[in-house]
Chain A
Amino acid sequence: MIRVALPKGRLGNDVYDRFAAIGYSCPELKGNSRKLVFEDAEKGISYILVKPSDVAVYVERGAADIGVIGRDTLLEYSPDVYELCDLGLGRCSIAVAAKNGWKDNTALPLRVATKYPNVAKRYYAAQSREIDIISLHGSIELAPIVGLSDVIVDIVETGTTLKENDLSVVTRIEESSARLIANKSSYMFKKESIDAIVAGMEAFSE
């Protein structure tokens, strides 16, 4: 039995469709139930739905054998897991964005609002730029508008939210997409089943 941690929400639905397409369907999951665990004993697979940022925790600690997670989250938390393949879903960039026309004042530390403090710290340390990290959990775009920060470090998909709020991308730091990750111990003991899923995913992408 392989237990898969899926991120709740739109990405999770797309990822589940991909699993179903390569033969690991579990129709119950598509219903509007409030269940959190779904199992198809015949196909030897079970799914759990968790908060996207928690997928890495479930997999790293072995509560799930494999999981799907954005590269942005992997970069932020650096979990000790295998990163087996790129599903090509949920593509986005991690970028620095600011109000249109913003200019960096290097006389002061840069105030950076973000959900990705580790990614931001690493990026600015490499630039030798002193920063003041402001950790937020949502609506990051609001921070520069109300003067809470100078810039934001956040994921950008289409850029529509930025445009509507009079913001624009200053630099793209990293590219992200959904990755299939595996617990290191689970991989050792369930290698054949996990390899079969990876092969199915890779064949689908090609």
Chain B
Amino acid sequence: MSGTTDRLAWEDRISLRLRALYEQYGYGRYRMGKFEPYDMYLANRKFLKSETVITFTDASGRLMALKPDVTMSIVKNTPDDAVSRKLYYAENVFRMAHGSMEYREINQIGIESIGCGDIYSEAEVLMLALKTLEVISGEYLLCIGNMGFADAVFRFCGLGGNEYETAAEYIRQKNTGALAALADRLGLDEAKKDLLMAVASVSAPLSDAIRTFEELHLPAEAADKLSELRELGEMLQIWGYADKVRVDFSIINDLDYYNGIVFRGFIPGAPRAVLSGGRYDNLMRRFGKHQNAVGFALYSGELSRKFTEEPEYDVDMLIVYGDAAPADVHAAVASALSEGKSVRAEKYPDPDVRAAETVVLSKAEVAGK
């Protein structure tokens, strides 16, 4: 590896490739400022991944927030008469890191597809999520669940209030033992209990998961959502991604935000999901928008540690010029540059600079030694 073009950080290379990918499918770039008025976030606090945002007062005394999220701004920015919007963004957001009480600046790349929310557009977003993971790693998995399906099953089982949230939490933890105990405590019959347990334990390729649920007694609404999953599966089969997709309901999220399909992308060695998305019509309604929407975000920052390789050299050539004339130094630098090398010129030899090649024009004593 030599030359300056390969010296882009891993994150920057990924970002360029992903932006090209999204533009290929007709997604346009959405750019936004670093901060926005705080009141929008205050009114929609519960939609944020962490409820705290960094705030400050602007010159006119208005309370502003450093943006913790991009999706919400895109939703707010969507005109009522827009038929369809396909957008991507690559922005830094500011939020509390998971499990710590410190703010982090997080690089977030994602797409939003706003419109009628038909099967093709939903499948296209899933396909782009898979292609996104493919750009990052040879091995990856996309887990999908459906909030509407889980919701229909919960209501069919008569779960309400606290029990609804408790059951969702057990499913997120794959805690089948506690879920079975909850089902017994509520006196659910075998059919309902089996269905609830299947939702908690499933983690299988689409076709296998669909077969599992077809054999169980499903409420009508859940059956509808299942056939939606089947249609998405057919599209992913066409695109050749069926073996990279797994149905798993432990990724179900906030029902106030997502309503249909939800998904998360995993890469071996990254301890948490690196990509997260879903269908968020509920958020659209909350902002008074009639369109439907589906999108995802990739948190590439968490990955750079895994993929960043320590380069062998800091620079291709180190030129130690000592007492040489400035014009001669320039000539040496220019000649190295013309060969496509990166070059660093120093008066004295510096052991901290790791160079593939060192050229000494003239020696000089380090002053004071």
Contact = CB atoms under 8 A, between A and B. Distances in A.
Interface of A: 60-62, 79-86, 182-189, 191
B174 A84 contact: yes
A195 to B, nearest CB: 9
B99 A60 contact: yes
B271 A185 contact: yes
Contacts of A84: 174-176
Interface string B172-189: 011111100000000000
Contacts of B270: 62, 185
B266 interface: yes
6 closest cross-chain pairs (CB), A and B = A62-B271, A82-B174, A83-B175, A83-B173, A188-B266, A189-B268
Given A83-B175, A85-B177, A191 B269 contact: no
Contacts, number: 55
A79, A186, A189 — which one has the most chain B CB atoms within 10 A of its CB?
Answer: A189
Given A80-B98, A184-B250, A189 B139 contact: yes
24 contacts: A60-B271, A61-B271, A79-B99, A80-B98, A81-B173, A82-B175, A85-B177, A86-B177, A182-B174, A184-B266, A184-B271, A184-B273, A185-B267, A185-B272, A185-B273, A186-B271, A187-B174, A187-B203, A188-B143, A188-B203, A188-B246, A189-B266, A189-B268, A191-B203
Interface of B: 98-99, 139, 141, 143, 173-178, 203, 246, 248, 250, 266-273
Contacts of A188: 141, 143, 203, 246, 248, 266
Contacts of A85: 176-177
Contacts of B271: 60-62, 183-186
Q: State the main secondary structure of chain B at its contact with A.
A: loop
A48 to B, nearest CB: 15
A191 B271 CA distance: 15
A86 B176 CA distance: 10
Given A83-B175, A85-B177, A184-B272, A189 B141 contact: yes
Contacts of A187: 174, 203
B302 to A, nearest CB: 11
Given A188-B143, A188-B246, A83 B174 contact: yes
Nearest to A86: B177
Contacts of B273: 184-185
Nearest to B143: A188
B143 A80 contact: no
A122 B204 CA distance: 36
Contacts of A183: 271
A205 to B, nearest CB: 10
